[in-house]
Every structure is written in structure tokens, then in C-alpha cells.
Amino acid sequence: MLEEFKHEFSQIDSLKYGISPGQKAERGLATTQGILTYLGKKLKPSAGRTRYGWQDIYCQEYPKLGRRWLANCDIPDMDLFPQKYDIKEIQFSAGFENRFLHFSVWVVSWLIRLGLPLKMERFAAQLLKLSHWFDRFGTSDGGMHVIISGKGQDGKPHQRTWFIIAKNGDGPQIPCVPAIILAKKLVAGELTATGAIPCVAIVGLTEYMAELSEFEISQTL
């Protein structure tokens, strides 16, 4: 997304983005453990502002999905994107479709932030199993939003908003695509970079969406 639309900006001030998978979407133990390790704990600051895991909750309106709640998550982008795109402030969030689950985790994050020595990652397997009890109250539809704000090439305030929506449980196809595209590029001899490097600015939005064309996945600009 940033590669696709960075030419519209002379300066990118903020990047606000997040994902909201459907309640029935596949989810694994490793992801659950990862989230639980930083609940209520300090994350990497952005624009001088202190951030805490699963806090700063807000509600995002998605096409075809409606309103979804999100909260702070910790990902490598917080280190990579400022270096690559000179972005001043970044906020990445994720959330559950089920509001009860989302706000329950938010409450626990506050208990940890206030000093309770809770080691929630120890109970990841049990909590993951418990979360499936709520599947009957949700859908298999999820989405992602990206909001880039800054100055356009004319120096005036400019913003680009983008959504990708996955229906009928096709969401997990999305994170698989980069590996497929990179494998094809390797076979075709199209990659010049070698070694262990961040996968930034290597996969384009057009080729990404082309790989997803057989699934019920759409983007909105």
C-alpha cells in the first residue's frame, strides 16, 4: 500500500492501519501467545507518545462489515516503516469481531498495566479454546484498513484510505500471498536482493490482488 501510493505524498505524517478477522476465522496458538505477552505493557513509542498493548481502542467502519473495534498491537512495522518511508507516527491495531471478547482482553490489559502480575500467555491454549465458544455469534468475514495522512505533492493536506475485505473465510489466504509471489520471482530470476532482509517494497499491490482473484476478496480505494 505504501509503495502503491507514496508518490501522492511529499511527506507522510501518519499511518493508521489494522486488521479485524472474523470470529470464525482460523487462528493459531502462536498468534494467541504473541498477543498475550504484551497486554498492558509498553510498546515502542510513536511520535513521542507512549503506547500500551491492546489499549487506545477505537471503532473503525468497514465496507460490507460494519463497525469493528481495534486496539494496539506490536509488530515489526513499527521499526521498519519509519526507516523506509520517514513516517512520523504509526498506529497498528487489531481486534476481535466479538465485542465481548475484545473488551474482555482490553480490561485485562488495564489490570496488567496497573501492576497485577498476570502471565496470560501461560493460559494461551485454554483461552484459544474458550474463544471458539463464541464462534456461533460471529462470521467468517474480516477486513483490513489503511489510512495514510500527510502532505500531497502540492504541499496541501492529503489522505489516502484503503480497505481489503475477505468474505466466507478467505481472509487467511491474504498473508499467504507474499510467499507465493516471492517463490515465483525467485524461479523467474526477478529478485536481485539476497540474504535475510525485510520483505518491504518487494511485493506490489497489483500482483498481490491478482493472486487473490479466485477468492472472495475485494479492495476499496
The per-residue DSSP string of 39-67 comes to: BTSEEEEETTEEEEBT-S-EEEEETTTEE
Are the beta carbons of 163 and 219 closer than 8 angstroms?
yes
Q: How far is CA 88 from CA 14, 19, 33, 116, 153, in A?
A: 6, 21, 29, 33, 17
Residue 67 phi, psi dihedral angles, 5° rounding: -90, 135
Confidence of residue 44 (pLDDT cuts 50, 70, 90): confident
Average pLDDT, integer, range 209-213: 96
pLDDT at 38: 94
Confidence of residue 26 (pLDDT cuts 50, 70, 90): confident
Helix (H, G, I), strand (E, B) or coil at 30: helix
The rounded mean pLDDT for the chain is 94
pLDDT at 45: 86
pLDDT at 46: 83
* Nearest-10 crossing angle of helices 29-37, 124-131: 110
Provide the CA 220 distance to its chain's centre, in angstroms: 16
Has this prediction a pTM greater than 0.85?
Answer: yes
pLDDT at 184: 93
Counting Cα atoms < 13 Å in the Cβ hemisphere of 103 gives: 6
Edge-first strand order for the sheet with 217-220 is 58-62, 66-72, 89-94, 9-20, 142-152, 157-166, 217-220
Average pLDDT, integer, range 52-71: 97
- CATH architecture for the domain at 2-165: 2-Layer Sandwich (3.30)
pLDDT at 121: 94
Are the beta carbons of 3 and 204 closer than 8 angstroms?
yes
C-alpha to C-alpha distance for 59 and 102, rounded to whole angstroms = 11
Tell me the pLDDT tens digit for each residue of 80-133. 999 999 998 999 999 999 999 999 999 999 999 999 999 999 999 999 999 999
pLDDT at 173: 93
C-alpha to C-alpha distance for 17 and 38, rounded to whole angstroms = 19
Which range among 102-116, 137-151, 193-207 shows the weakest confidence by mean pLDDT?
A: 193-207
pLDDT at 211: 96
C-alpha to C-alpha distance for 81 and 72, rounded to whole angstroms = 16
Average pLDDT, integer, range 47-68: 94
Percentage of residues in the chain with pLDDT exceeding 70?
100
pLDDT at 197: 85
Please check the confidence at residue 47 and state whether its pLDDT lies above 80.
Answer: no
Q: How far is CA 55 from CA 23, 60, 70, 93, 197, in A?
A: 20, 15, 9, 9, 30
